[in-house]
């Protein structure tokens, strides 16, 4: 028998049962408990706002972006060079001056997005999570609850950013020129320039902390929406597919 979301494995699942009442746990405890008791975190925050959690997640993400700004600039520049080479091959009328201007703009936009992009991505993902929860999983959750789920599920990605920061501090990254060169993903072991772009993007989508985040979204939809865990995972799987599409269009 399926277990009740947020309950002990020995308890039976009751789709009509309400999540446990909000506890007095602190936001700091949420950031710890999401790694070992995610159902409890989603259950106790189901009827609360997401603003404070999103603020903290966004500030931490911006701090990691600042710490890694040198490497990020190098990576964005390498991606721009690959894009430029493809553009020149497709359109000989493009001049090096035009490409250099485009490269500078891409680097600048990439760094700005690194600082402010996290809350924007979370809010957009929350919209898709909300739609999938409602129409695929049959979970009656609000957009605010979807944003809460997506925000809490983003916390493992912060660990991924920390792992990148440690690598930047301890390794020689001067030869790293791919967006997945420091990521925990199969694409790390592929050559960003020699590999098929679509295959490279597909491999990159299986990044450990991103997949972990999506699994948490599935759990959150199940707990907050009071639906079977399997339906939450189906919604998360579709969200994974939607997120992979841009990587396949490179």
Mean pLDDT, contiguous 10-residue spans, the chain (250 residues): 42 45 79 96 94 96 91 78 68 67 68 85 97 96 97 97 94 84 93 85 94 98 97 97 85
Kindly report, residue by residue over 74-107, the tens digit of the pLDDT: 887 777 767 666 766 666 676 666 666 666 676 6
Comparing CA positions, the residue from 221, 224, 226 lying closest to residue 236 is: 221
Overall pTM > 0.95 = no
Place of tokens 């989603």: 42
d(CA 180, CA 176) in angstroms, rounded, equals 9
pLDDT digit string, tens, across residues 11-41: 434 444 544 545 578 999 999 999 999 999 9
Q: Which pLDDT score is estimated for 4?
A: 46
- Domain limits, the chain: 27-67+115-248
Tell me the pLDDT of the chain averaged across its residues. 85
Residue with tokens 């579709």: 238
Q: Which helix (H) or strand (E) holds 19?
A: none
């Amino acid at each position: 028998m399926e277990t009740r979301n947020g309950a002990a494995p020995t308890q039976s699942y009751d789709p009509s049962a309400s999540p446990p009442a909000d506890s007095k746990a602190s936001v700091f405890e949420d950031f710890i408990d999401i790694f070992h008791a995610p159902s409890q975190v989603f259950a106790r925050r189901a009827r609360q706002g997401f603003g404070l959690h999103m603020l903290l997640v966004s500030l931490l993400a911006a701090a990691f972006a600042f710490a890694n700004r040198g490497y990020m600039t190098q990576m964005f520049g390498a991606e721009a060079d690959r894009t430029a080479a493809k553009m020149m091959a497709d359109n000989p009328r493009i001049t090096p001056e035009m490409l250099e201007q485009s490269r500078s703009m891409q680097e600048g936009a990439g760094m700005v997005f690194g600082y402010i992009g996290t809350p924007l991505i979370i809010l957009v993902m929350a919209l898709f999570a909300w739609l999938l929860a409602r129409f695929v999983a049959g979970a009656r959750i609000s957009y605010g609850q979807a944003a809460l789920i997506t925000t809490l599920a983003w916390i493992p990605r912060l660990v991924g950013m920390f792992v990148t920061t440690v690598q930047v501090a301890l390794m020689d990254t001067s030869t790293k020129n791919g967006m997945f060169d420091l990521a925990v993903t199969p694409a790390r072991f592929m050559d960003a320039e020699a590999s098929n772009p679509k295959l490279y993007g597909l491999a990159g989508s299986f990044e450990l902390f991103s997949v972990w985040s999506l699994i948490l979204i599935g759990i959150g939809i199940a707990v907050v929406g009071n639906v079977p865990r399997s339906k939450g995972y189906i919604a998360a799987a579709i969200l994974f597919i939607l997120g992979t599409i841009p990587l396949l269009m490179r």
